Amino acid sequence: MKTISLSVSGMSCGHCVSAIENALKEINVESQVDLASGTVQVSFDESKQSLATIQETIEDQGYEVQ
């Protein structure tokens, strides 16, 4: 498992947290959203998921990965 922290803009509430965490769960990525710091920590198996796919999944929810 690889764990990284992504800087994500546009998150402001509990709905944002749920939207991102649920979308990532659907692609088998564990995540923890921190609204205060504007980050999403993700843990994933590199043999099953790519960082590009994770970023795209977050952006599909309406947020920007920086």
Q: Give residue-wise pLDDT tens across range 42-54.
A: 999 999 999 999 9
Helix 14-26 with 51-60: angle, nearest 10 deg: 140
Q: Is 0.95 topped by the overall pTM?
A: no
> For residue range 23-66, what is the model confidence (pLDDT) as tens digits?
999 999 999 999 999 999 999 999 999 999 999 999 999 999 99
Class of domain 2-65: alpha beta
- Sheet hosting strand 64-65, strand order edge to edge: 30-34, 39-44, 2-9, 64-65
3-state SS, residue 38: coil
Count the neighbouring beta carbons within 10 Å of the beta carbon of residue 53.
14
3-state SS, residue 42: strand
pLDDT for res 59:
97
